[in-house]
Structure 1
Amino acid sequence: MVLAVSLLSFSENLSNTKENITLEDKDYKIIAYLPCWVGKDWIAEDIQGDKLTHLYLAFARINNEFKISNHDVRIPGVPDTVSSQTIIDSIWEEVRRVQKKYPDLKIIVAVGGWGADGFSDMAATKATREIFVDSVVEYLKKYNLDGIDIDWEYPVDGGGGTIEARKEDKENFTEVIKLLRKKLGEDKEISFCTNVSGWFLDVIEWEEVVPLVNSINVMGYDYQGPWSENTAHHSNLYINPQDPVAHWGLSSDAAIKRFINRGIPAEKLVLGFPAYGREFHGAQPGENGDGLFQKYQDTIWPGGSIPYTILKQYYVNKNNFKRFWDDDAKVPYLYDGETFITYEDPQSVAEKARYVKEMDLGGIMYWEYVDDIENDLLNSAYETLKK
Structure 2
Amino acid sequence: ETVEDHEQAVVCYVATWAVYRPSRGRFSLDDVDPLLCTHLVYSFLGMDNKTYTLMPLDYEYDVNKGGFEKAIGLKKVNPRLKVTVAVGGWTEGSEKYSRMASSPKLRKTFIDSAAAFLRKNNFDGLDLDWEYPANRGGKPEDKENFVHLLREMKEAFQPYQWILTAAVGAGSSTIDTAYDIPKMSEYLDLIHMMGYDYHGKWDQETGHNAPLYARIDESPVQQTLNVNFSVHYYLSQGAPPEKFVLGLGLYGRTFLLTNSSNPGIGAPARKSAFAGPYTREDGFLGYNEICEKLLTEKWSLAWQAAHQAPYMFKDNMWVSFDDVNSLGLKVAFAQRLGLAGVMVWSMDTDDFSGQCGNRYPLLNSINRNLALHAKSRFQERVSTTRPTMRPITQTSKQSTPWPSVRPSSPSSLWPSISDNLLFFFIIISDRLL
Cα deviation, 1:258-282, whole Å, max 9, x if unaligned, reads 1111121122211111111111113
Task: Give the whole-Å Cα distance in 1 for the aligned partners of 2:29 and 2:14.
Answer: 11
Q: Is the 8 A contact 1:220 1:271 kept in 2?
A: yes
Counterpart in 2 of 1:34?
A: 14
User: Which residue of the other structure, out of 198, 208, 213, is the alignment partner of 2:172?
Assistant: 198
SS at match of 2:203: coil
The TM-score with structure 2 as length reference comes to: 0.75
Contact conserved, 1:59 with 1:86, CA < 8 A, in 2? no
**Structure 2: distance between partners of 1:244 and 1:269:** 28
Q: Separation in 2 of the partners of 1:253 and 1:59?
A: 28
Asked whether the 8 Å contact 2:72–2:123 carries over to 1, the reply is: no
1:243–1:207 Cα change, 3 Å: closer
Query: 1:150, 1:193 within 8 Å by CA — same for their partners in 2?
Result: yes
**Alpha-carbon distance between aligned partners in 1 of 2:60 and 2:330, rounded to the nearest angstrom:** 28
* Distance verdict in 2 for CA 1:156–1:87, change over 3 Å: farther
Residue of structure 1 equivalent to 2:118: 140
Conserved 8 A contact 1:70-1:86: no
Q: Summarize the Cα distance change of 1:224–1:370 in structure 2 as closer, same or farther, 3 Å threshold.
A: same
**Following TM superposition, by how much is the alpha carbon of 1:53 offset from its aligned partner in structure 2, in angstroms?**
0.4
Query: Which sits farther off after the overlay, 234-243 or 355-364?
Result: 234-243
Cross-structure match for 2:289: 310
SS in structure 2 of the partner of residue 335 of structure 1: strand
Matches within 5 A, 1:56-95: 56-63=41-48, 64-71=50-57, 87=62, 89-90=64-65, 91-95=67-71
> How big is the alpha-carbon RMSD for the aligned residues of Structure 1 and Structure 2?
2.3
Letter in 2 for 1:335: F
Shift of 1:45: 3.8
Q: 1:251 aligns with which of 226, 233, 237?
A: 226
Which runs of structure 2 are paired with 1:1-387 in the superposition (5 Å)?
10=4, 26-37=6-17, 39=20, 41-63=26-48, 64-71=50-57, 87=62, 89-90=64-65, 91-117=67-93, 118-157=96-135, 159=136, 161=137, 165-185=138-158, 187-202=161-176, 203-243=178-218, 247-285=222-260, 290-297=263-270, 298-301=272-275, 302-314=281-293, 316=294, 318-372=296-350, 373=352, 374-387=359-372
| Contact 1:277/1:308, CA 8 A, preserved across alignment | yes
Report the Cα distance in structure 2 between the residues aligned to 1:293 and 1:96, rounded to whole angstroms.
Answer: 44
Task: Tell me, in whole angstroms, the C-alpha distance in 1 between the residues paired with 2:258 and 2:217.
Answer: 17
Structure 2: gaps spanning 5 or more residues = 276-280, 353-358, 373-433
Q: How far has the Cα of 1:337 moved from its partner? A: 3.3
- The residue identity in structure 2 corresponding to 1:382 is N
Alpha-carbon separation, structure 1, partners of 2:334 and 2:274? 34
CA distance in 2, matches of 1:169, 1:282: 39
CA distance in structure 2 between the aligned counterparts of 1:255 and 1:279, rounded to whole angstroms: 23
In structure 2, relative to structure 1, the CA distance for the partners of 1:308 and 1:84 (3 Å cut) is farther
Amino acid at match of 2:126: I
Shift of 1:156: 1.1
The percentage of counterpart residues that share the same residue type is 25
Counterpart AA for 2:240: P
Size of the aligned set, in residue pairs, is 347
**In structure 2, C-alpha distance between the alignment counterparts of 1:292 and 1:199, rounded to whole Å:** 24
**Which protein has the bigger helix share?**
2
Tell me the TM-score normalized by structure 1: 0.84
The amino acid across from 1:55 in the alignment is: L
Contact 2:9 2:342 in 1 (8 A): yes
